[in-house]
Amino acid sequence: MTDWPAPRADRAVHATVEVPGSKSLTNRLLVLAALADAPSRITAPLRARDTDLMAGALRALGVSVEDSGADWVVAPQRLHGATVDTGLAGTVMRFVPPVAALAHGDTVFDGDEYARSRPMHALLDALRLAGVVVDDGGTGRLPFTVRGTGSVPGGVVELDASASSQFVSALLLAGARFDKGVELRHVGKPVPSQPHIEMTVAVLRRAGVEVDDAVHNRWLVAPGTICAVDSVVEPDLSNAAPFLAAALVTAGEVRIPRWPAATTQAGDALRGLVALMGAEVWLTSEALTVRGTGRIGPLVADLHDVGELTPVLAALCALSDGESRLSGIAHLRGHETDRLAALATELTRLGGDVTQTDDGLTIRPAALHGGRWQSYADHRMATAGALLGLAVDGVLVDDIACTGKTLPDFAGRWLRMLDA
């Protein structure tokens, strides 16, 4: 890895930035297509490391995932045991094990070094309650083996999904293929990132799956067919965060085409959050536009449902003119890295004034200076470092290539935005 000098902005940014497809939608659609009753097409999917890993995992299990120009055509097949590389993709390490439980044979899961520290015990224990044999050596983490028998009994399953909403989505996505479906009951602290569960429920219903989510913390998926549905993937709104934030930092204007008027993506919350920090925001049928006003105000917000936006928002807060308090995000300690510790460490390294709280960060104004920004192989940490570099001379991001996890050619897109 070579340190990437984050470019300093010498003028206000005025750019239109095309953001590729949503990772969250792409990987959910791939799983459903793999379990459907006929082939289907996914149009404008994200092509990045996380989605390539998902496609590779499904191919390893026997599913046909074929390129058709920029699209994917997915044809379900009889599933068999395999070896699955999860990389650092939470959706792969959480969504694929329930699929592997429906396969004939053993499937071994392993991934990147950082992936081995991510919590998995809630999902693995839930699979056991559904009648699946899982061998993890008692660690509750990667590597582990799912011993598929071709079917899963299913039924009532209790789990604590307070560490990640992906545990819920994983079981819902495959639940219709379980013999008795699945009645999933969450017990514990509130589930984070609720919009991601709403996204899962929406794509399931569109595929003809009966989902009852009328009772809080309970989801009932009836057994039945998952219908093949051709889908078009929306732009990834969370990946728009650093580009929109650049408008505030440079007192410029950034336009994101094809921003949906209605969506289940958590990133849609950016519209309100950047407005709270002083931006002018407007949405038309063609695009979302954010204009900086020359002031970055502090942010006091509960980010429990939109934790993935925290790194970029924390970077903005470090450049603001008041004390910011970001709360509701204790679960970020179990993401690609401990994002709260990482943000506190790296912002402090650049002269920031940051305190970790039980469930978030307090960030106070301070004079920042250049230095090395460590990404911890975390794509969102890397983009936060790039954002700081717009306003601070001499910021070096240690691993800008890790942004390829969900956003291909981030560095190129960033430079094109500045040169527009």
Distance CA(243)–CA(232), nearest Å, equals 23
pLDDT score recorded for residue 335: 75
292 and 346 in a common domain:
yes
The total number of residues written for the chain in this structure: 420
257 and 218 in a common domain:
no
Q: Is 308 a catalytic residue?
A: yes
Which among 198, 308, 336, 346 is annotated as catalytic?
Answer: 308
- Which residues are annotated as part of the binding site for phosphoenolpyruvate? 23, 90, 118, 166, 339, 380, 405
pLDDT score recorded for residue 1: 67
Other beta carbons less than 10 A from residue 73's beta carbon: 16
CATH code of residue 48: 3.65.10.10
CB 249 within 8 A of CB 391: yes
- Which residues are annotated as part of the binding site for 3-phosphoshikimate? 23-24, 28, 164-166, 193, 308, 335
Rounded alpha-carbon distances, angstroms, from residue 105 to 45, 83, 133, 165? 30, 11, 11, 28
Binned average pLDDT, 10 residues per bin, the chain of 420 residues:
93 97 98 98 97 98 97 98 96 98 98 91 97 97 97 97 95 98 96 95 98 97 98 97 98 98 96 98 97 98 96 98 97 87 98 97 97 96 98 97 95 96
Could you report the per-residue pLDDT of 312-350, keeping only the tens digit for each? 999 999 999 999 999 999 999 987 789 999 999 999 999
- Which residues are annotated as part of the binding site? 23-24, 28, 90, 118, 164-166, 193, 308, 335, 339, 380, 405
220 and 186 in a common domain:
yes
89 and 137 in a common domain:
yes
Q: Which of 172, 199, 232 is the last residue of a domain?
A: 232
341 and 268 in a common domain:
yes
321 and 224 in a common domain:
no
3-state helix, strand, coil in the chain (%, to 5): 35, 25, 40
Count of domains in the chain? 2
- State the residue range of the domain holding 123: 23-232
140 and 91 in a common domain:
yes
376 and 270 in a common domain:
yes
